[in-house]
Amino acid sequence: MLRTLLTAISLTLFSQTAWANLSELIKCSQLMPSEELQKGWKCSDGSIYDSIASLRPVAQCFKDVASEGSIFDRLPIGQLAELGEKRLSELCDKNPEATFRDLVKSNQSNEATPQVTGNQETAAPATKVKIEGAFGVKLGQKFDGDTIVATFDNGEKALGFKPANSHQSLETYGVMVTSVSKTVYKIIAFTSQDNGRGQCNRHRDVIEVLLDKKYGEIKTKKDFMRDHIDYASGDREINLYCTYSGQLTLEYLDRDLAKLAIEETASTQDGSGF
């Protein structure tokens, strides 16, 4: 799967990224170990350490053919290939059953617990910045509004609210709430009409600077497929991005509460026929 993904990325982003030679890039992706082997990489049996050794030649191949400004470092293979044994130990100690993909996610969130040696206890540094909410609304609070300002493809509905300290580049403000307890699990702000990618990208870059001032230490790498700018703290995250049509969107999400939203919706439906 990763081999196929890397080949697809090579073809899709060739015009957008400064690759030295596309044919050489595809050769690099073909060096990836088989999917079956990747599925077997786990912390529990130590095979994850072999996986890093297998990935490093592939990673070096990408580095050799990719010119400056490439997306190499944003790919899972690039992230894992750069991990040292100490960092791997920290990640595996936190989750002994971790797989290849689990480690990518854990390394991105940077939430591994350091090892304890002898009587010396070393605690993981606490994240100084927490994601509470935005525009006068907090994730986890109750919300009783009922004005729908947007309905999304996945069925989610945003309920409108009057923002505190609104931003000039964002026009519509809403929250998603759980169906039973009316708990806010997502805050969203966006432009109500498409303004083109160029203008959207400029507004996004300005808001990124403002977000960095408060959340810079929890900023994660951009999502190379969706061009996201992301910030993460525990089970909460902030996503800033432009849609392909040029709509600027800013989201604050609590993943645990999003799961609660699914559970509450399920609790209102009859499943006796399954």
Check: CB of residue 112 under 8 Å from CB of residue 104: no
* Structural domains counted in the chain: 2
Does residue 80 fall inside a structural domain?
yes
Are residues 262 and 216 located together in one domain of the fold? yes
Does residue 72 fall inside a structural domain?
yes
Does residue 128 fall inside a structural domain?
no
Does residue 121 fall inside a structural domain?
no
Q: Which of 156, 208, 207, 220 is nearest to 185 (CA)?
A: 156
The two structure tokens encoding residue 184? 């806010």
End-to-end CA distance of the chain: 33
Instruction: Give me the domain span that covers residue 34.
Output: 2-109
Rounded Cα gap, residues 106 and 103, in angstroms: 5
Are residues 186 and 231 located together in one domain of the fold? yes
Are residues 88 and 147 located together in one domain of the fold? no
The two structure tokens encoding residue 33? 């170990």
Unique residue bearing structure tokens 């890093």 = 52
Are residues 229 and 153 located together in one domain of the fold? yes
Does residue 180 fall inside a structural domain?
yes
The two structure tokens encoding residue 207? 């808001």
Q: Please state, rounded to an integer, the average pLDDT across all residues of the chain.
A: 76
Are residues 138 and 243 located together in one domain of the fold? yes
Rounded Cα gap, residues 229 and 246, in angstroms: 15
Query: Does the CA dihedral 127-212-256-161 come out positive or negative?
Result: positive
Does residue 116 fall inside a structural domain?
no
The SS3 call for residue 239 is: strand
Are residues 98 and 147 located together in one domain of the fold? no
Does residue 273 fall inside a structural domain?
no
Non-local (6+) Cβ contacts of 181 within 8 A are 142, 260, 264
Does residue 160 fall inside a structural domain?
yes
pLDDT digits (tens, 9 = 90+) for 81-123: 666 666 677 777 777 777 766 666 655 554 333 334 445 444 5
pLDDT digits (tens, 9 = 90+) for 136-187: 999 999 999 999 999 988 889 999 999 999 999 999 999 999 999 999 999 9
Check: CB of residue 65 under 8 Å from CB of residue 6: no
